[in-house]
Structure 1
Amino acid sequence: MGHTYWEMAPKSTVPTTSGPVRGLVLDGMHRFLGIPYAAAPVGAHRWRPPAPQEGWRLPRDAFAYGSVCAQNNISYPGFGFSSNTEDCLYLNVYAPEGVDAGAKLPVMVWIPGGGLFIGGSNDHDPSALVKDGRVVFVSFNYRINVFGFFSHPAINAEDHEIGNYGIMDQQAALRWVRDNIAGFGGDPANVTIFGQSAGAISVWCHLMSPASAGLFHKAIVQSGGASPLVATRGTRDFEQTGLDLARDAGATRHTSEELRALQTSDLLAANLLPEGTFGAGKYEIGHTVDGSVLPEPMADLFTSGRFHQVPVINGTTRTEFHWFQGMLELSTGQPVPAESYGPILSQALTTLPDMLLGRSVSPDRFEDVAKTYRPEDYGSASEAMSAAIGDCGVISLGNQRVNRVLRRFVEDVYSYEFDAPHTATPWPPVSFPYGSAHTKDLQYLFPGFRGASGAPVPLEGEDLRLASTMVHYWSTFARHGTPNSPASQYPAWNRYDAVRDNAMLLTVPESREIENFGDRHHATFWDDVSGAAG
Structure 2
Amino acid sequence: MVDLPEPGTEVVETIYGPVRGVFRQEMSQFLGIPYAAPPVGDLRWRPPASPTPWAEPLDVRTFGSVCAQDTTGLPGFGHFSDTEDCLYLNVFTPAQSEPGRQLPVMVWIPGGGLYCGGSTGYDPSALVLDGDIVFVSINYRLNVFGFFSHPAINAEGHASGNYGILDQQCALRWVQHNIAKFGGDPENVTIFGESAGGISVLANMASPASAGLFHRAILQSCSGAAITSAQSLQSQEHVGVALAAAAGCDEQTTANLRALSTHDLMAADAMAQQMLGVGKFHIGLVVDGEIIPEPMRELFSTGRFNHVPLINGINRDEFAWFQAMIEFHTGHVISDEEYPSAVETTLAALASSPVLGVEIPPEAIPDILIRYPLEKYPSASRALAAIIGDCGFISMGGRRTTRVIREFVSDVYAYEWDVPDSPVSWPEVSFPYGSAHSQEIQYIFPSFHGGCGVPHDLNSSQKELAKKMVSYWTTFAHRGNPNAELRKNPEWPAYASSVDNFMSLSLPGPTIVNSFGESHHCDFWDELTQVKVKFLG
- Shorter-chain TM-score: what band? over 0.9
Choose which of 295, 298, 306 in structure 1 pairs with 2:296. Answer: 298
Q: Distance in 1 between matches of 2:349 and 2:11?
A: 54
Q: 1:177 aligns with which of 157, 175, 178?
A: 175
- Structure 1 residue 394 displacement after superposition: 4.0
Please tell me whether the aligned partners of residues 45 and 145 of structure 2 are also in contact (alpha carbons under 8 angstroms): yes
Q: Which is further off, 365-374 or 325-334? A: 365-374
Task: Report how far residue 102 of structure 1 moved.
Answer: 3.2
Q: 1:414 to 1:37 in 2, by over 3 A?
A: same
1:190-229 per-residue CA deviation (whole Å, 9 max, x = no partner) reads 0000000000000001001111011000000111132442
Kindly tell me: are residues 279 and 142 of structure 1, through their superposed partners in 2, closer, same or farther at Cα, counting changes over 3 Å?
Answer: closer
Q: Give runs of aligned pairs for residues 34-45 of structure 1, distance below 5 A.
A: 34-45=32-43
Any stretches of 5+ residues in structure 2 without a counterpart? Answer: none
The runs of 5 or more residues in structure 1 that have no matched partner are: none
Q: Name 1:144's counterpart in structure 2.
A: 142
Moved more, 159-168 or 345-354: 345-354
Greater shift, 399-408 or 442-451, is seen at 399-408
Matched with 2:11 is 13
**Counterpart in 2 of 1:464?**
463
Aligned partner of 1:500 in structure 2 is 499
Contact 2:461 2:508 in 1 (8 A): yes
- Contact 2:351–2:359 at 8 Å: present in 1 too? no
Correspondence for 2:279: 281
Q: Distance in 2 between matches of 1:101 and 1:429?
A: 48
1:230–1:394 distance in 2 versus 1, CA, 3 Å: farther
Equivalents in 2 of 1:186, 1:276: separation in Å? 40
Say whether the 8 Å CA contact 1:177–1:188 is kept in structure 2: yes
Which residue does 1:520 correspond to in 2? 519
Work out whether residues 99 and 184 of structure 1, in 8 Å CA contact, stay in contact via their aligned partners in 2.
no
Shift of 1:528: 4.7
Separation of aligned partners in 2, 1:289 and 1:148: 14
Which string of whole-angstrom CA distances, capped at 9 and with x for unpartnered residues, describes residues 467-503 of structure 1?
0011000000000000001222200000000111001
Q: Kindly, what percent of the aligned residue pairs are identical?
A: 52
Which amino acid is the alignment partner of residue 304 of structure 2?
Answer: R
What does residue 480 of structure 1 align with?
479
Q: Tell me the residue number matched to 1:308.
A: 306
* C-alpha displacement of 1:2: 4.7
How many angstroms apart in 1 are the aligned matches of 2:114 and 2:100? 35
- Matched-pair contact (CA < 8 Å) for 2:147–2:164: yes
**Distance (Å, rounded) in 1 between the aligned partners of 2:212 and 2:275:** 42
| Residue in 2 that maps onto 1:439 | 438
Match of 2:46 in 1: 48
What CA deviation, in whole Å up to 9, does each residue of 1:425-458 have, x standing for no partner? 1111111110110000100000010011000011
Partner Cα distance (2:56, 2:99) in 1:
20
Per the TM alignment, residue 159 of structure 1 is displaced from its structure 2 partner at its CA by 2.3
TM-score (norm: length of structure 1): 0.97
Which position in structure 1 is the counterpart of 2:204?
206
- Tell me how far apart the structure 1 counterparts of residues 23 and 274 of structure 2 sit (CA, whole Å): 45
TM-score computed with the length of structure 2 as normaliser: 0.96
CA distance in 2, matches of 1:110, 1:188: 15
Distance 2:530 2:200 in 1: 29
Determine which of 342, 348, 357 is the counterpart of 2:340. 342
Match among 271, 275, 281 for residue 269 of structure 2: 271
- Describe the superposition over 1:233-261 as per-residue Cα deviations: whole angstroms up to 9, x where unpaired: 11111111111100111101111111111
Q: Which of 143, 155, 158 in structure 2 is aligned with 1:157?
A: 155
CA distance in 1, matches of 2:427, 2:117: 18
Counterpart CA distance in 2 for 1:33 and 1:101 is: 21
Aligned counterpart for 1:191 among listed residues 189, 192, 217: 189
Q: Is the 8 A contact 1:228 1:302 kept in 2?
A: no
SS at match of 1:266: helix
1:390 aligns with 2:389: yes
Map 1:72-111; keep pairs closer than 5 Å: 72-99=70-97, 102-111=100-109
Amino acid at match of 1:521: H
Residue 260 of structure 1: aligned partner: 258
Give, in whole Å, the separation in 2 of the partners of 1:327 and 1:244. 27
For this pair of structures, how many residues does the alignment match?
532
1:357 alignment partner in structure 2: 356
SS, match of residue 91 in structure 1: strand
- Given that 2:336 and 2:374 are in contact with CA atoms closer than 8 Å, whether structure 1 keeps it comes out as yes
Secondary structure of 2:281's aligned partner: coil
Question: 1:362: how far off?
Answer: 2.6
